[in-house]
Structure 1
Amino acid sequence: MTTVVVGTIAFSILVDFPETATFITDQERAFIAWTKSVDNMAVGEEEHLETRHVIAVLSDWQIWMQIVLYWCICAPLNGITLFLPSIISSFGYDTAISQLLTVPPYICASKWQRLRYEFPIVTFTTAIGLVVFALWSDHIKMRSPFIFAGLLISLVGFAINISDAPIGVKYFGTFFCVTGSYAAFPGVVAWLGNNLAGQYKRAIGMALQMGLGNMNGILASNLYLSSEAPRYIRGHGLEIMFLCVGLTVLPFVVSLYRHVNGRRAEEVEKGVVNHSEEQLRHMGDRSPHFRYML
């Protein structure tokens, strides 16, 4: 209900473009316009939705590859999020303690002291990982290394949990599962947005990514069967499969981006690009002047 109310209010108060914003000065508006003019992502900023935008999205290889990556990150993320209480419960604790252990361990009441010292927990690991990954990624203007790192971290966690390790070690492993998945998720969404030019192609492409990508919840909600407790070999095994696919697809996508960037740079350097401004605007991220973020 809150989402509906906030969305309705936002629809009426959010502005579409700097040109229509009434709360900034003319000088600020001019600065924003200049910033957009030198921004790689500003190529193809059309003002009207056309059928060709939908066709451009459906025929763009990168969108489908990014959807695969989205699945490989979100299936483990949704799986561990939905079933973490069940997984922890299989360690031998009752429902109340299992639920408690799914939240950051900041409760220090005396009755929980044994739990605090039984497990080697790093408090707020997930939040720290998200902030560090986001800031560092923006600083070096790269997404793929941090998505790759998140997949690896998550893989370590699921590998620990599918093993026959002690309970304390497995619980510690769940922090890797959650941290890696949550740290990689914002990166894969931002990455596609960075590599789509033209506001309507970007909007349609990201909507398709998240629309089809979030269908992984259908699978994730059926990964862990109570009959397979406590090791959940099938559930953890499928999560590991998704992560391994992601770790394989990611370098392939990067190599394709790198190849296209190199080919475009060579075309521009040789002076074989002779498109008009109108053609370049319509090409969007297919423009020879556009460079994919790695």
Structure 2
Amino acid sequence: MDDGQSTAQGSTADDSILTHSAAVYRSEIDVSTVDEKKLMWKLYNMDADLGLSDKQYLICLSMFFFPYALFEPASNVLMRRLKPSVWLSSMMFLWGIVMTLHGIVKNYHGLLALRLLLGLTEAGLYPGVVYYISSWYKRSETGFRVAVFFSSATVAGAFSGLLAAGIAKMDRVGGRPGWAWIFILEGLATVLLSIASFWMVQDFPDNAKFLTEIERVYVIRRLQADSKYSASGEAFKRSYIWQSLKDWKTYVAMGLYMGFDGPLYAFSLFLPTIINQLGFGATRANLLSVPVYVWGCIMTCIIGYIGDRTGRRFHINLILFSVGLVAYIILLTSKTAALSYFAVYLAISAIYPIIPNSVAWVANNVEGTYKRSVTLGMAIGFGNINGAVTANIYRAEDRPWFRLGHGIVLMYIGIGLLSTIIFAAFLARENRLRDRRERDEVIDGVVNKYSHVRNGRYASVEDARLHKGDEWSGFRYTM
């Protein structure tokens, strides 16, 4: 029922199905004379069955984002304390139940409550998985793994419309409408997978059961050699949370995530419109959306691999955001459907690969398990809440070229580009200060003419590493 971003970031296909299915429905109708949003509301008569007005539907659509975004930082902290096998699996189980209940909802108030619960139960998945990956792999290995995870969900989203169309043929089976069966079957499938995941999902390196003690020591030492000193585990302290809240990187990362999450939401809504403008029927319209997403998947994995191999995440972001600007300038000025369709490939080549590259860049530059969990949760959460804005910027009255929507996305990409430059400039400045020994701490028993008490006083170097995380003078940020 939203635009598919939650699917693209690792959730089930519950929200993207109606969007992709709406593309099928729209392709059989003259889009120049029909309000595009109303087509989604009337899809399979869901609005009529629930007695929804246009305003009520928009409220339900938007309410998902707020608990989804706000709960992400807390979710990551809870996952660290409860273990991934428990937290991620429990979260999947609960959102599967909530999704299934969508199929028996009776009215607006019930739907609104379920949308809030869905946002709450899905909140921690994407930042949780990213945090989980960053806890197992070195900084030079994170980007490709995140890209594969992100891309697998993207490919699943590409086929969600066909899945919805097939399930909808169960209309009136058991007295339930077709749209209800979409939620019921996908919800039950999620519940079954969540039960299996209790045994499939492993925990963090310091407590994963499948490792022998020799293997555990190897994995932890390997990570610690890559400046992940907290890999052996750390006791929860409120000071670690405050480290994230006081860190400038957290807030610049929020701007960075805003720069690609806003366009991502908007893209998934606009793609069906481009295909409609090409004049294809229902089946062909669905099939034409598949190569776009497949291309995005391929580019995401390639860029993820290049980012890990070269370590130049700043330069990659700079190039990708620039390509995104070019793509949306073309969309903003285009007057032909073919040119717009070409620009869509440029857009997905930029927007989708930016996400895992930026996620890895931020995760690699935040040390401390709890600090990293909060920083990722806040950045990803703030990025996601922008979906409440960009999911509604392609208005029916702006067709056929949607200048306002493209202009707003262009603004978001500009914010992402500016945040990328600021992030890189501040990281480089901090590395220079550390190279000049201006961040050296006072270590008891160690004579160091560069050390200063303003940087902290610690019993040993190991103590300084664990307490200061990436603020330790020996830590170097990656570019």
Structure 2 length-normalised TM: 0.53
Q: Find the residue that maps to 2:220 and give its secondary structure.
A: helix
Matched with 1:108 is: none
Deviations 1:74-97 (A, max 9, x none): 111110112211233244445554
Matches of 1:79 and 1:154, distance apart in 2: 13
Aligned length: 277
Matched with 2:111 is: none
Q: Which amino acid aligns with 1:186?
A: P
Q: 1:161-180 maps to which residues of 2 (within 5 A)?
A: 161-180=331-350
Q: Which amino acid aligns with 1:243?
A: I
1:149 aligns with 2:319: yes
Q: Which amino acid aligns with 2:329?
A: A
Offset, 1:23: 2.4
1:41 aligns with 2:267: no
1:234 aligns with 2:413: no
1:218–1:5 Cα change, 3 Å: farther
Matched with 1:27 is: 214
Q: 1:202-281 maps to which residues of 2 (within 5 A)?
A: 202-267=372-437, 271-272=450-451, 275=458, 276=460, 277-281=462-466
Q: Is the Cα contact below 8 Å between 1:43 and 1:285 reproduced in 2? A: no
Q: Is the Cα contact below 8 Å between 2:270 and 2:394 reproduced in 1? A: yes
Among 75, 79, 84, the alignment partner of 2:262 is: 75
Offset, 1:3: 5.1
Q: 1:1-12 maps to which residues of 2 (within 5 A)?
A: 1=96, 2=189, 6=193, 10=197
Offset, 1:9: 5.1
1:84–1:42 Cα change, 3 Å: same
Q: 1:31-110 maps to which residues of 2 (within 5 A)?
A: 31-42=218-229, 46-104=233-291
Offset, 1:170: 1.3
Q: Find the residue that maps to 2:228 and give its secondary structure.
A: helix
Matched with 1:184 is: 354
Offset, 1:39: 1.6
Matched with 2:306 is: 136
User: Over aligned residue pairs, what C-alpha RMSD do you find?
Assistant: 2.5
RCO comparison, higher one (Cα < 8 Å, 6+): 1
Structure 1 length-normalised TM: 0.84
Q: Which amino acid aligns with 2:474?
A: H
What are structure 1's unaligned runs of at least 5 residues?
Answer: 106-122
Deviations 1:172-193 (A, max 9, x none): 1111111210011111111111
Matches of 1:4 and 1:60, distance apart in 2: 38
Offset, 1:239: 0.8
Matches of 1:156 and 1:3, distance apart in 2: 39
What are structure 2's unaligned runs of at least 5 residues?
Answer: 1-95, 97-188, 441-447
Q: Which amino acid aligns with 1:293?
A: T
